[in-house]
Amino acid sequence: MSNETSPVFCAEAQQATEKQFEASSADMVGQRLDYALTLLLPQMGLRGRKRSIESGQVLVNGRSCKAAQRLRKGDVVSLADAPEADQQTQNAGVDAPATGACPAGANVDTLPRLLERQGEFCFFYKPVGLHTAALTGGNMPSLESMLPQLLAGQGCTEAGAQDGADMSAEAVPPQLMQRLDHGTSGIVCAALSPQAAKAFRLAEAAGRCEKRYIALLAGRLEEDFTVTFALRTDKRSKSRVLDRDAGCTRWTNFTPLHYFEGDELPQLALATDSQFHRVGLTLVGCRIRRGARHQIRAHAAAVGHPLWNDPLYADNDPEAEAQTSHGMFYLHHGCLLLPGASCVMPPPWSFLPVAVARQVLEWLTFVD
């Protein structure tokens, strides 16, 4: 289907309400859900509509579904209210002080917050379960939508006093320079001026922007290796690995840090299934320069070591797929290095032994 919006949607729109519509006409029947969703989210692009479906915001006959599902006559498509957990995250992000402190009794690892400002860059923490960018026309919380609250009350920080910059959200609207997956935690950088945004993109293109991640992969990795495959990411929920090399700024380097096996696995509080007791799990450091959507996840799966419990890329093994229904994987953006600016934040994973957590921090902060 070459056009996202079919003319029949205009006719059907008369039957639609703000929250739902029914597939009643012959032309509507058989349409993909992600295309038909333009009735309820007319200002949202295809990618945003797919994200809304994947997050459970869209229901067909009261049930969550897939973007590729074809509508049948009489199907009722509706928008669900934001899940309770996501609403709590949104409220916590709004109520949390912008200094990085959190409300009494709150788990700081679940709250988005401002980590620090360096010059014309701000570094924020995005927890698991929060979108990075706002969904146009949607009501799901996102780091982007919370930026005014996260920056409110900052006034002129010490850095701001030196350069005369105003940290208020109104005076300096930040521009997010990165996106992390819904299930990925870690650092997200924002530029406070067009000049800073341009400097970030130029550093990326020149390979002078380094992003370090920590991930938990299935199987045992014995040594460092680099995956150079190009990826196809256009109009796909799952990036496709191509049989050719990408430019060097799109490569992924993997460094094994610790291998969990046998009796150590139950300590992770992750899984007791026989498959992962058989193959073990490797904690790795991942380095990328420019990056592409799902780059680390797709590259890891391409060499036979997908992220543990990855719902998109660990599906080649039926046994693995059976264990990944809830889609909780472990990937954390722990270090961002830019010319003249940097930020480090270790993963907030309580299952890491003290010695391993120390090793992770050393890897995130090492200097070439």
3-class state of residue 273 by DSSP = coil
Distances in whole angstroms, Cα of residue 266 to Cα of each of 270, 274, 280, 305, 346: 7, 12, 11, 20, 22
3-class state of residue 354 by DSSP = helix
Which pTM was predicted? 0.68
| 132 token code pair | 């990075």
- pLDDT attached to residue 45: 64
Please state whether beta strands 121-126 and 240-245 pair in parallel, antiparallel, or not at all (unpaired).
Answer: unpaired
Distances in whole angstroms, Cα of residue 152 to Cα of each of 95, 224, 355: 11, 43, 38
Please name which of 99, 92, 96, 95 lies closest in space to residue 122, comparing C-alpha atoms. Answer: 99
- pLDDT attached to residue 138: 59
- pLDDT attached to residue 277: 62
- pLDDT attached to residue 84: 42
- Domains of the chain and CATH, by start: 8-79 (3.10.290.10), 82-205 (3.30.70), 207-368 (3.30.2350)
The pLDDT averaged over each successive group of 10 residues in the chain (368 residues) is 37 47 75 80 69 81 84 85 44 40 50 92 93 73 89 50 43 83 94 94 94 94 93 81 90 96 68 61 95 92 90 61 54 96 93 92 92
3-class state of residue 112 by DSSP = coil
Tokens 């969904």 sit at which residue? 135
Please state whether beta strands 331-338 and 185-191 pair in parallel, antiparallel, or not at all (unpaired).
Answer: parallel
- pLDDT attached to residue 97: 39
| 102 token code pair | 């959190």
